[in-house]
Structure 1
Amino acid sequence: MAVLTEVSDEQAGALCRLYGLGELDALTGIPQGIENTNYKLMAGGKRYILTLFEGRTDLSELPYFLTLMNEVAEAGLPAPRPLEQAEGGMLTEVAGKPAAILSFLRGKDIPAPTPEDAHGAGAFLARLHQVTANTSLHRPNSMGVASWQVMAKRLSGRLDHFAGGLEAEVSDVLSELTVSKPSGLPRGAIHADYFPDNLLWSDGAISGVIDFYFACTDDLAYDLAVAMNAYTPEDRPDEGQGDALLEGYETVRPLTKAEKAALPAFLTGSALRFFLSRATDLVFPPQGALYQGKDPLPWLELMRKRREKMGAAT
């Protein structure tokens, strides 16, 4: 989330009228993030989030993301609810960019979650999966194994700058993951980016899950693996947050035997995914984005640890 496109008070006021929100009270840019432009919008004494979708977002997929958020909110979980215009429709255009207004969720993320926090995050993810497992919505995973192969190919000749022999290592891991890819597991709409900064907390409880813009249809256990890796601190990987998240998840939705068998491969693959995406953004910075590169090497080390357990499980 970042302010990549300026929105004037006049434009915001016109939006407020379009959505029937009353008069504009205030408009404040949200500087964090890199993907889209976000503002806190206050109108009629109420708070909202105005999001402008920038170039990295596939505009044809916006209805999927917004409809999924609405389904989750309708099911009673704290997710942003896209507002509809007075004459219908969730999307509009501001400053030449597609835009939507979302309900405001109170709370803040926990930058350094404890194992107890991770346990609660895992239980909440399982509740989310119970809601999304039966949705009729469908979107292929644009960050699945095929995309990892594309990123690895794009980084060809550069991976060894991160670590000696890495190009061959990544090729080997991709081959292993392709061979061991499980099938027939429970599937549904997954969040696919369940990091601590996408979960809001208030008074010790989860008050919101945000940023559904990587959501897609895939194995629920893969989403769990993404979350377990995301909650593993880069500087303190042995504190147990990933295991605590798994324990919390299974208090709500116990894994099947097949899902448990697939988890080591999913953990290895999701760690590789985030190493490759971080490495790609360092070598090929997103055009027009206020991007500060993140170190991909902790994800490489995590991938290696996960791979050891994947080998032990086979």
Structure 2
Amino acid sequence: MAVYTKIEKSEMEEIVSRYGIGTLVEYSGITKGIMNSNYLIKTEKGKYILRILEMERDIEEEKKELKFLEYLGENSIPCPGVLMTEAGEDYIMLKGKMASLFTFLNGKEVLDVNEEIIEKFGKLLGKMHFLSENMKLDRDEKIELEYLYNSISKDENKLKDILAENYAGIMQKLENVKKCDFSKLPFGIIHNDIFPDNVFTENGEITGVIDFNDAMSAPFVHDIAIVLNFWIYNKFGVYSQNLVNSFFKGYRTVRNLKKEEIEMLPLAMDKAALTFVFLRIKKFNFHDGDAEREFKDYRDLLPMVFENKNIEFC
């Protein structure tokens, strides 16, 4: 989340009126995250989240995401509900951009990753994958390794300057990942940005999963790799075997991994690490417009890229 598109009070009042959600009390931009503009809206009737899409995608593609959220909600996955305008529309256009209003989910982002919460999350992610197995959600990917690398490598000299002494090592990792064929692995609709700050908890229970804007059809190992990298290594600086075991204990109560998925996980983890290194470089080192957002340094992820992935995926 971030704030690229500025909304004045009079404009927000008009938006609130179109949705018939009462009188605007206050609103504020949400600066965490990278991809889209997001606002927390408070009215006399409650709290809501307004998301303005900042990526160039076809509206019909984006409507598929809204339908997928509806499907997950119908199957007891705690995710944001899409609100309709009084005219019966599930999105509006703001300053030439598609915007949607979502229900507000209670809870706070996961800060304390422990064995209990990661086991519960593993079960939830396993259910999400089970529900979407073999489903298609084709869209123009924005959090995808090849797309991001192609975006930043157009200015190769600048990329070399940014990565400096890490350039050769990163390129070698990239070549290794490019040789791998993940396409034959079990697939469905993955979240694709399943970081701890996109999962909410309250009183030890998971209350919500947010930010499905990069959900797409892909092998499930890509989501799992994000969890192992960003829920475990990025939090503790080591791949804690106890946390890995707890995650898979929960995940396997709903969906069993195939042998070939387990074998490909280390390379999927390398791919996920590189993907978010390149995403941060694109957003923060290559100018991407003025925005209110939390700075994220790609260098914080380099230890993860080069870390040995010898883990027991039991």
- TM-score (normalizing by structure 1): 0.85
Aligned to 1:114: 114
Q: Which amino acid aligns with 2:267?
A: A
Q: What do the CA deviations read for 1:66-97 (whole angstroms, capped 9, x no partner)? A: 22222211222111111122332211134554
Range that drifts further, 199-208 or 110-119: 110-119
1:45 aligns with 2:40: no
Aligned to 2:28: 29
Residues 303, 243 of structure 1: alpha-carbon distance in 2 compared, 3 angstrom cutoff: farther
Q: How does 1:96-107 map to 2 (within 5 A)?
A: 97-107=97-107
Structure 1, unaligned stretches of length 5 or more?
none
Q: What do the CA deviations read for 1:117-174 (whole angstroms, capped 9, x no partner)? A: 222222211111122224353335443342254156246334465452x333223222
Aligned to 1:265: 267
Over aligned residue pairs, what C-alpha RMSD do you find?
A: 2.8
Greater relative contact order (CA < 8 Å, ≥ 6 in sequence): 2
C-alpha distance in 2, partners of 1:149/1:187?
23
Q: Percent identity?
A: 26
In the TM superposition, residue 193 of structure 1 has moved relative to its aligned partner by 0.4
Residues 44, 280 of structure 1: alpha-carbon distance in 2 compared, 3 angstrom cutoff: closer
Aligned to 1:251: 253
In the TM superposition, residue 200 of structure 1 has moved relative to its aligned partner by 0.5
C-alpha distance in 1, partners of 2:149/2:96?
34
Residues 236, 68 of structure 1: alpha-carbon distance in 2 compared, 3 angstrom cutoff: same
Range that drifts further, 275-284 or 198-207: 275-284
Q: Which amino acid aligns with 1:100?
A: S
Aligned to 2:205: 205
SS at match of 1:41: strand
In the TM superposition, residue 106 of structure 1 has moved relative to its aligned partner by 0.7
C-alpha distance in 2, partners of 1:293/1:46?
30
SS at match of 2:83: coil
1:124 aligns with 2:105: no
Residues 273, 6 of structure 1: alpha-carbon distance in 2 compared, 3 angstrom cutoff: closer
Residues 247, 300 of structure 1: alpha-carbon distance in 2 compared, 3 angstrom cutoff: farther
C-alpha distance in 2, partners of 1:65/1:27?
28
Q: How does 1:294-309 map to 2 (within 5 A)?
A: 294-306=296-308, 309=310
In the TM superposition, residue 220 of structure 1 has moved relative to its aligned partner by 0.8
C-alpha distance in 2, partners of 1:25/1:150?
43
Asked if structure 2 preserves the Cα contact closer than 8 Å seen for 1:27 and 1:39, the reply is: no
In the TM superposition, residue 263 of structure 1 has moved relative to its aligned partner by 0.9
Asked if structure 1 preserves the Cα contact closer than 8 Å seen for 2:82 and 2:103, the reply is: yes
Residues 136, 146 of structure 1: alpha-carbon distance in 2 compared, 3 angstrom cutoff: closer
C-alpha distance in 2, partners of 1:155/1:230?
28
Aligned to 1:293: 295
Asked if structure 2 preserves the Cα contact closer than 8 Å seen for 1:151 and 1:277, the reply is: no
Q: How does 1:146-185 map to 2 (within 5 A)?
A: 146-151=146-151, 153-154=153-154, 156-157=156-157, 158-159=159-160, 161-164=162-165, 166-185=166-185
Q: Which amino acid aligns with 1:278?
A: R
In the TM superposition, residue 222 of structure 1 has moved relative to its aligned partner by 1.5
Asked if structure 2 preserves the Cα contact closer than 8 Å seen for 1:2 and 1:38, the reply is: yes
Q: Which amino acid aligns with 1:280?
A: K
Residues 182, 53 of structure 1: alpha-carbon distance in 2 compared, 3 angstrom cutoff: closer
Asked if structure 1 preserves the Cα contact closer than 8 Å seen for 2:145 and 2:278, the reply is: no
Q: Which amino acid aligns with 1:276?
A: F
Asked if structure 1 preserves the Cα contact closer than 8 Å seen for 2:136 and 2:189, the reply is: no
In the TM superposition, residue 201 of structure 1 has moved relative to its aligned partner by 0.6
C-alpha distance in 1, partners of 2:112/2:179?
36
Aligned to 2:143: 143
- TM-score (normalizing by structure 2): 0.85
Asked if structure 2 preserves the Cα contact closer than 8 Å seen for 1:41 and 1:48, the reply is: yes
SS at match of 2:277: helix
In the TM superposition, residue 305 of structure 1 has moved relative to its aligned partner by 1.7
Residues 216, 94 of structure 1: alpha-carbon distance in 2 compared, 3 angstrom cutoff: same
SS at match of 1:101: strand
C-alpha distance in 2, partners of 1:147/1:95?
26
Residues 62, 167 of structure 1: alpha-carbon distance in 2 compared, 3 angstrom cutoff: same
Q: Which amino acid aligns with 2:91?
A: L
Q: Which amino acid aligns with 1:28?
A: Y
Residues 167, 208 of structure 1: alpha-carbon distance in 2 compared, 3 angstrom cutoff: same
Q: How many residues align?
A: 308
Aligned to 1:216: 216
Structure 2, unaligned stretches of length 5 or more?
none
In the TM superposition, residue 195 of structure 1 has moved relative to its aligned partner by 0.3
Residues 300, 257 of structure 1: alpha-carbon distance in 2 compared, 3 angstrom cutoff: same
